[in-house]
Structure 1
Amino acid sequence: MSVHELKRPPVADTAQWRVDLPKALEQLRHWAQVSPLQPALRHKRHGQWFVWRWIDVLRDVERLADGLRQQGFTDDSRLALSGAFEPDLLLLALAAQHVGGELLTLPDHLDAETLHKALWRSRPTHAFVQGRQAQQLWLNHGQRLLDFVALLGPAEPPQRLNRRAQGAQLWSEEGTQWQDGLTVVLEQWLNSGHSLAFPESPGSASRDRREVAPSGLLLSAEGLQRLATEIDSRLAPQGTWRRRLCDWAIAHPQKPLQRLIKNRVRRLLGFHNLHFIWQATRTPDTRSAPTWLNEFKRDIA
């Protein structure tokens, strides 16, 4: 996870990638004041869950803002973010807002040619990039990479979480390939004041989600389709009597046996505390998703 500086061009076209969060800092300061010691962010790293309290988030954002200023970031600068949503990326996004610069998100799986075109148009002055392959692509543009920890400066490390968190929790297993994702994640998190959790990696998302048992999922339409595929893979094969029984129970959960089967499926996926799945009103067709997921979808205009 690295930050590096790009040469600034005279003109930039940032409309496609720009992120606007006018009230983000105001909301962050609110939660840091009214719930300073409550968990704000959770992330699994090296097999351990770590937690940032609201006061920790605010302090880290302020430190990162100072670090950005030392790297020449001003209110005329543009910060491009590329990678999985997790605490470092969110904290840096908020720090850029703190300084007053422009914030951009670029997909994290671009090939060299597509990345070159995106950078040529958007002209970021600074960038935060996750993943070795992505970092190498940026290095191929002749840029110097900086360590995120050095940008943050001296700070208390996040606390290990030694007990299961209680209360409402949001969950994200997305990244900057979701064009509007950062806006959605930050708005839902800062509007609600709920804890927001992230998996250690895409490959561990299902297991880590079961450990968190979130109350809300923040998913793109593509993420919802991946979830539907995951659910289907965990059920009995199509055409078998066990699958017909499961489908019948999920579609008609009025009786005890049906509720038992449905609840078992939900627990297997880490959804036994689930209350809603965020979904934009205008998304690709997701009618192939399991019927029981529809009851959790909360359409947002």
Structure 2
Amino acid sequence: MGTFTDTPDAVPASLPQWLQRQALEHGTDVALRHKHLGVWQERTWAQVVDEVRRLASALQARGFAAGETLTIISRPRPQALLAALAAQWLGGVASLFDPLEAAAEQVQRLTTLQPDFVLVEGVEDMLRLRSAQVAVRILVYLDKRGLSDSTPFAQASDYAALLAERPIDNGVPQGRLLQTAFVFYRGAGQAIEEQRVSHAELLQEGQRLVTREGLGRQEEALAARAFASGGQARYLLAPWLIAGFRLIFPENLATRDRDRRELGPTLVAGTRETYERLHRYALERLPAPGSGARRLVDWALAAQPGPLHRPVGDWLVRRPLRDVLGFSRTRAPLLVGDALPPNTQAFFQALGIRVRLWGDAAHWEAPTHLVHKTTDNWTGLQSRLA
């Protein structure tokens, strides 16, 4: 499965190789934290690399090989991330679907793509696959709740059962620098487009962010978007592997803001929608306009504060608001993708949170394999009509 050496002296040339480097050098350090049923659970770097190796071995035994794509449909969960790394460990590609995407559009896209290897969170996602008439070769699920004998895809495999299998090889990562690590899709039907991101691009952009922001092992970052975009992979996943900080997963999408407040991450890599949602959340909790308490808030958040504004305003208003939003310890508030509207940018600036824009200059194009499929179908139709 490759020639990468198990020594810290080798230069990692892919995401899985960086994972292996962290496990070799800092195996007992915490790599992941995840809240499950209200309790925070932890995985060390050694545990993470062991889980990735075991899953890669199980996938390989079922026919997954270099060049194959593992489609992942899941909310933000550590298992979804580790499955992506397992696919890349084998020289394959991971394709993550946005959990916030409308079901109808996702079904249309699945109908067009017809993926062979799929990992889903649970029954709801299986029903989407059935609606899309996807004939999967291998289907893995994370959550068994709601499964029954009548559930579609009776041949589906339990993620936990795959991990319990005995590995069949030495688990050396096969992915290479110029190979595609992730593929993302947008649109549906004949309008579908894809974005392919290589290990080289991810590592280059990730290292640039680590250097510019001075990121280190002490950081804690919240992963709330399931890495379903190129920007999230560049500016959160790659830096996590390169810098070796802790990546934190909320219990679910509904608890992400509460979990952020509880943890106070030092690194936030959010989208425009993330910051706009937090802006609205804060405004809904401010005193009514015209009240004395609201005048105090407006005074503390003035764009050009006077001598008393900073210490008094910070103590009475700005610091409590940062705590409410979960930014009490944040020193690297990053914006991935589109810029913020002026009012949202001004609000965070007034709180002393200087949001830095990291653009997502994605290149989208028509998927070549789908173009070939469409051409072949049209050629067959022409021959039948002739």
TM range (shorter): 0.7 to 0.9
Report deviation, 1:148: 1.4
The CA RMSD measured in Å over matched residues stands at 2.6
Structure 1 Cα separation of the partners of residues 122 and 277 of structure 2: 21
The percent identity for this pair of structures is 26
The answer for the alignment partner of 2:90 in structure 1 is 99
Q: Does residue 296 of structure 1 match 2:354?
A: yes
In the TM superposition, 1:149-298 aligns within 5 A as: 149-153=160-164, 167-175=218-226, 178=229, 180-251=231-302, 252=305, 254-260=309-315, 261-280=317-336, 282-283=337-338, 285-289=340-344, 291-294=346-349, 295-298=353-356
Report deviation, 1:285: 4.0
More deviation, 172-181/79-88: 172-181
User: Could you give the per-residue CA deviations for residues 121-175 of structure 1, whole angstroms, max 9, x where no partner exists?
Assistant: 43422111225422321244365232211222259xxxxxxxxxx9420112223
Report deviation, 1:206: 2.0
Structure 1 Cα separation of the partners of residues 234 and 112 of structure 2: 21
Runs of 4+ in 1 over 6 A off after TM superposition: none
Q: TM-score, normalised by structure 1?
A: 0.80
Pick the aligned partner of 2:18 from 16, 27, 47: 27
More deviation, 92-101/136-145: 136-145
Q: Any unmatched runs of 5+ in structure 2?
A: 1-11, 137-152, 167-216, 360-386
Contact 1:250/1:291, CA 8 A, preserved across alignment: no
* SS at structure 2 position matched to 1:100: coil
User: Could you give the per-residue CA deviations for residues 75-127 of structure 1, whole angstroms, max 9, x where no partner exists?
Assistant: 13211112222210110010000011122122335556533432244342211
Report deviation, 1:254: 4.9
The answer for the alignment partner of 1:8 in structure 2 is none
The answer for the alignment partner of 2:363 in structure 1 is none
Q: Any unmatched runs of 5+ in structure 1?
A: 1-20, 156-165
Contact 1:108/1:176, CA 8 A, preserved across alignment: no
Contact 2:58/2:165, CA 8 A, preserved across alignment: no
Structure 1 Cα separation of the partners of residues 240 and 281 of structure 2: 25
In the TM superposition, 1:39-78 aligns within 5 A as: 39-78=30-69
Contact 2:103/2:128, CA 8 A, preserved across alignment: yes
* SS at structure 1 position matched to 2:343: coil
Contact 2:345/2:355, CA 8 A, preserved across alignment: no
Contact 2:16/2:89, CA 8 A, preserved across alignment: yes
Q: TM-score, normalised by structure 2?
A: 0.63
* SS at structure 2 position matched to 1:255: helix
Structure 2 Cα separation of the partners of residues 86 and 112 of structure 1: 19
Structure 2 Cα separation of the partners of residues 233 and 111 of structure 1: 26
Structure 2 Cα separation of the partners of residues 58 and 23 of structure 1: 14
Pick the aligned partner of 2:126 from 121, 132, 135: 135
Going from structure 1 to structure 2, the CA distance change for 1:278 and 1:255 (only over 3 Å counts) comes to closer
Structure 2 Cα separation of the partners of residues 179 and 288 of structure 1: 27
Q: Which amino acid aligns with 2:46?
A: I
Q: Which has the higher contact order (CA 8 A, sep 6+)?
A: 1
**Computing the radius of gyration over CA atoms, which structure comes out larger, 1 or 2?**
2
Report deviation, 1:182: 3.8
